């Protein structure tokens, strides 16, 4: 696993041994960040289910001002910290904050708004839809902010306060894009 673009391009990241954790593929990550390119510079980002931190680190590499990495797993956060150290980004400095919390607790206690919220929960769990509802309820997206939900099937249904405006498929992954509803 590596960083695809930006100032840390081609840097190799630590990842989980075994098959228990499913990182976003390089192809999907490259496509996602090409779509988001104009929204990243100076952005405040929440990587809600950080895992190894790959998505949040890609955002930092491409110009995000701050990324909050959240995960419930101590093992995940140890890998996030290892990757931050590899890139010489201070843990809990200006660019990177690391939180260990359940995703709903993270959303309940988040301060301020985010330009980009990355929601990549374990596919077998239905955490993403609950996370979208909570972030809409708490108004955690900026006016032009985007929430991206990655899962293994297309998104069906509606989230009050959010508008699904795009969906792409990369291999087994579907990336669904949401913004604040204009209604």
Domains and CATH numbers, the chain: 26-180 (3.40.50.150)
pLDDT tens, position by position, 45-86 = 999 999 999 999 999 999 999 999 999 999 999 999 999 999
CB neighbours of 17 closer than 8 A, spacing ≥ 6? Answer: none
* Cβ-based neighbour number of residue 123 at 10 Å: 14
pTM of the model: 0.95
pLDDT at 122: 87
pLDDT tens, position by position, 80-112 = 999 999 999 999 999 999 999 999 999 999 999
Angle at 90 between CA 86 and CA 148, to 5 degrees: 80
CB neighbours of 32 closer than 8 A, spacing ≥ 6? Answer: 24, 55, 148, 175
CA dist 129 to 40, 125, 151, 158, 175, Å?
24, 10, 10, 9, 13
pLDDT tens, position by position, 21-47 = 567 778 889 999 999 999 999 999 999
Compute the distance between CA of residue 87 and CA of residue 80 in angstroms, rounded to an integer. 11
pLDDT tens, position by position, 124-176 = 888 999 999 999 999 999 999 999 999 999 999 899 999 999 999 998 899 99
Q: Any idea which residue has 């239905």 for tokens?
A: 126
CB neighbours of 55 closer than 8 A, spacing ≥ 6? Answer: 24, 29, 32, 47, 118, 120
pLDDT at 89: 96
């Amino acid at each position: 696993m590596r960083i695809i673009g930006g100032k840390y391009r081609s840097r190799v990241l630590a990842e989980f041994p075994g098959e228990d954790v499913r990182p976003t593929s390089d192809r999907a990550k490259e496509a996602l960040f090409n779509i988001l390119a104009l929204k990243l510079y100076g952005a405040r980002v929440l990587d809600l289910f950080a895992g190894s931190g790959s998505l949040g680190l890609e955002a930092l590499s491409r110009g995000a001002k701050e990324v909050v990495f959240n995960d419930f797993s101590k093992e995940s956060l140890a890998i996030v910290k290892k990757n931050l150290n590899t890139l010489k980004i201070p843990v809990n400095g200006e660019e990177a904050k690391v939180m260990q919390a359940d995703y709903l607790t993270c959303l309940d206690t988040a301060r301020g708004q985010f330009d980009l919220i990355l929601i990549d929960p374990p596919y077998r769990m239905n955490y993403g839809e609950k996370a979208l509802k909570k972030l809409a309820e708490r108004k955690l997206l900026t006016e032009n902010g985007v929430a991206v939900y990655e899962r293994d099937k297309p998104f069906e249904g509606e989230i009050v306060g959010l508008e699904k405006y795009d969906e792409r498929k990369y291999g087994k992954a579907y990336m669904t894009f949401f913004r604040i509803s204009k209604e």
